[in-house]
């Protein structure tokens, strides 16, 4: 099986523009593949589709099967890379109303998310929803001390123990965490939770194809073998550093060319609502990887055609500091034919007999040309259909392009030092021991 991912740069850059960047691509490729680049200790994702732990993969499949049998609901507790890849996969590949379908009409358990923010309203509402259902929890954290998921897990663990008793709650909690250390690993060992590994050499935003994503994805009934096969084929397809043949590197080079031409925002635009969390995953991947040293494209997104009725005016006629990357699928998961009606009051009988997907595709093509005419360069990425194989391929495509693009930019694409700043301030303002001096200064600043 092979994907037919297609990258069209016609409306963004020329081949001459790209070829001028071939030396930069060769340098970035060498830094990544030799392990000499900054952050190389976090490049385990690079060969993951062929080197992943087969024994743990089988354990994941077995645990997912048990979850599907034991639970109406799986709650995934995590934030950032511990949550976005999973949610992206479920939203794109599952029924739009997966959680609302009767159990016999969906392939896996319903999946809800917690620990990805600090809203008490959300957590209370979630507990209302799951109250009379059989529940399993997958808590995901490398350390076990990240504030948002740790607070959610405190509440939900207590709720589980009250509902099932301690012994049964332990059987219904799965921890995906560090192999050997950390607060969550210690708790899991003490309580006897089944554990899965967050690899030391893969950062959170690159971790969707590890146990972090694979366990809840499999529990929802999605084929993780196909997901990994798509990623493996992408790994093989994008090994050579020639811009003439490597679509992944062409995308990275096009982004950097446009950045050097003064574009500061990349908008990922998609024409299926199921891509909402895929673009959120992409935004974290690129924003956290490239936004350093006062450099980097700002990653934004549009859900089309919906946002044409809100943001369309700005994209067409606003400040020309952006370009679009448009993501489409040749075939939808499901289609509908437009019916003919006698009155034709809406004037749409000229479309009778056409599919809604055809109309969506024509809207995309017309929008792309209009935006190009308005001075917005457009990159187009197309895949045959939204399935597990193609999504696995796309995950790897974006991950590797991000690494190459980051090295071309001159930053470490695998760290996130800026994320620590808000945490230090938050801990100080909350009165965490050891932050007393910082708290007094921050309180003064807030009062100014």
- pLDDT score for 428: 83
Q: Provide φ and ψ at 210, rounded to 5°.
A: -100, -175
User: What is the C-alpha separation between 226 and 209, in angstroms, rounded?
Assistant: 11
| Residue 434 backbone zone (phi > 0: left; psi -120 to 50: alpha; other: beta) | left
Average pLDDT rounded to a whole number, residues 113-132: 97
pLDDT more than 90, % of the chain: 92
Burial class of residue 437, CB neighbours in 10 A (0-12, 13-18, 19+) = exposed
Specify whether the CB–CB gap between 90 and 220 falls below 8 A: yes
Sign of CA dihedral 433, 434, 435, 436: positive
| Overall average pLDDT of the 144-166 stretch | 97
Confidence of residue 388 (pLDDT cuts 50, 70, 90): very high
| pLDDT for the residue 293 | 95
Indicate the pLDDT class of residue 1, thresholds 50, 70 and 90: low
47-222 topology per CATH:
Rossmann fold (3.40.50)
Task: Tell me the mean pLDDT in the region 96-107.
Answer: 95
Using a cut of 0.85, tell me whether the model's pTM lies above it. yes
Complete edge-to-edge strand list for the sheet that includes strand 298-303: 6-11, 378-383, 322-329, 265-270, 298-303
354-386 confidence digits (pLDDT tens)? 999 999 999 999 999 999 999 999 999 999 999
CA–CA gap between residue 236 and residue 287 (Å, rounded): 26
Rounded CA-CA distance 164/71 in Å is 13
Closest CA relative to residue 43, chosen from 26, 57, 31, 54: 31
pLDDT tens digits for 191-229? 999 999 999 999 999 999 999 999 999 999 999 999 999
Q: Give me the residue label for tokens 């850059």.
A: 13
284-145-91-195 Cα dihedral, nearest 10 degrees: 120
- Does residue 440 register a pLDDT over 70? yes
Q: Does the pLDDT at position 151 exceed 80?
A: yes
What is the H or E stretch that residue 300 is in?
strand 298-303
Tell me the C-alpha distance between 42 and 38, whole Å. 9
pLDDT at position 97 is: 97
Q: What is the pLDDT of residue 447?
A: 85
Write the secondary structure of 46-61 as one string of H (helix), E (strand) and C (coil): HCHHHHCCHHHHHHHH
| Tokens standing for residue 188 | 């899991």
The structural domains of the chain, with segments of one domain joined by +, span: 6-38+228-409, 47-222
Instruction: Give the pLDDT score at 233.
Output: 98
pLDDT higher than 70, residue 2: no
6-38+228-409 CATH pick, 3.20.20.100, 3.40.50.360, 3.40.50.10490, 3.90.110.10: 3.40.50.10490
H or E segment to which residue 241 belongs: none
The reported pLDDT for the residue numbered 315 is 97
Q: What average pLDDT does the chain have?
A: 96
Mean pLDDT on 84-94? 98
Domains 6-38+228-409 and 47-222 share a fold: yes
Confidence of residue 421 (pLDDT cuts 50, 70, 90): confident
Contacts of 210 (CB under 8 A, 6+ apart): 48, 52, 197, 198, 199, 202
Lowest mean pLDDT among 164-173, 260-269, 431-440: 431-440
For residue 444, what pLDDT is reported?
80
Q: Going by DSSP bridges, is the β-strand pair 6-11/378-383 parallel, antiparallel, or unpaired?
A: antiparallel
Among the residue ranges 28-32, 170-174, 442-446, the one predicted with the least confidence is 442-446
User: Which residues are part of the catalytic machinery?
Assistant: 288, 423
Indicate the pLDDT class of residue 424, thresholds 50, 70 and 90: confident
């Amino acid at each position: 099986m092979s994907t037919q991912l297609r990258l069209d740069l016609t409306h963004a850059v020329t081949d001459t523009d790209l070829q001028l960047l071939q030396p930069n691509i060769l340098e970035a490729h060498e830094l990544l593949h030799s392990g000499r680049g900054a952050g190389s200790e976090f490049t385990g994702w690079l060969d993951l589709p062929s080197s992943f732990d087969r024994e743990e993969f089988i354990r994941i499949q077995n645990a997912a099967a048990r979850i599907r049998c034991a639970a109406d609901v799986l709650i995934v507790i995590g934030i950032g890379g511990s949550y976005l890849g999973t949610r992206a996969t479920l939203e794109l590949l599952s029924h739009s109303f997966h959680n609302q379908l009767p159990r016999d009409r969906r392939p896996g358990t319903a999946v809800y998310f917690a620990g990805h923010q600090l809203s008490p309203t959300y957590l209370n509402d979630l507990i209302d929803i799951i109250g009379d259902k059989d529940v399993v929890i997958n808590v995901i954290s490398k350390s076990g001390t990240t504030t948002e998921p740790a607070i959610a897990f405190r509440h939900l663990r207590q709720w589980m123990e009250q509902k099932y008793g301690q012994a049964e709650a332990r059987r219904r909690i799965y921890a995906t965490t560090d192999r050997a250390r950390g607060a969550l690993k210690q708790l899991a060992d003490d309580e006897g939770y089944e554990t899965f590994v967050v690899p030391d050499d893969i950062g959170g935003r690159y971790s969707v194809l590890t146990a972090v994503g694979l366990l809840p994805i499999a529990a929802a009934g999605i084929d993780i073998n196909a997901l990994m096969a798509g990623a493996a084929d992408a790994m093989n397809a994008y090994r050579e550093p020639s811009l003439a043949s490597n679509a992944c590197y062409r995308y990275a080079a096009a982004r950097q060319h446009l950045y050097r031409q003064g574009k500061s925002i990349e908008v990922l635009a998609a024409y299926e609502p199921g891509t909402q969390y895929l673009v959120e995953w992409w935004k974290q991947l690129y924003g956290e990887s490239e936004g350093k040293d006062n450099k980097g494209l700002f990653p934004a997104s549009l859900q089309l055609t919906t946002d044409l009725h809100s943001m369309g005016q700005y994209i067409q006629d606003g400040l020309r500091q952006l370009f679009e990357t448009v993501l489409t699928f040749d075939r939808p998961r499901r289609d509908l034919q437009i019916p003919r009606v006698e009155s034709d009051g809406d004037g749409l009988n000229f479309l009778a007999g056409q599919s809604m997907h055809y109309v969506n595709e024509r809207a995309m093509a017309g929008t792309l040309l209009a935006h190009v005419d308005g001075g917005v360069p457009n990159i187009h990425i197309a895949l045959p259909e939204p399935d597990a194989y193609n999504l696995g391929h796309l995950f790897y495509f974006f991950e590797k392009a991000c690494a190459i693009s980051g090295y071309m930019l001159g930053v470490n694409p695998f760290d996130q030092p800026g994320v620590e700043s808000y945490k230090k301030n938050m801990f100080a303002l909350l009165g965490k021991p050891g932050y007393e001096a910082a708290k007094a200064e921050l309180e003064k600043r807030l009062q100014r």
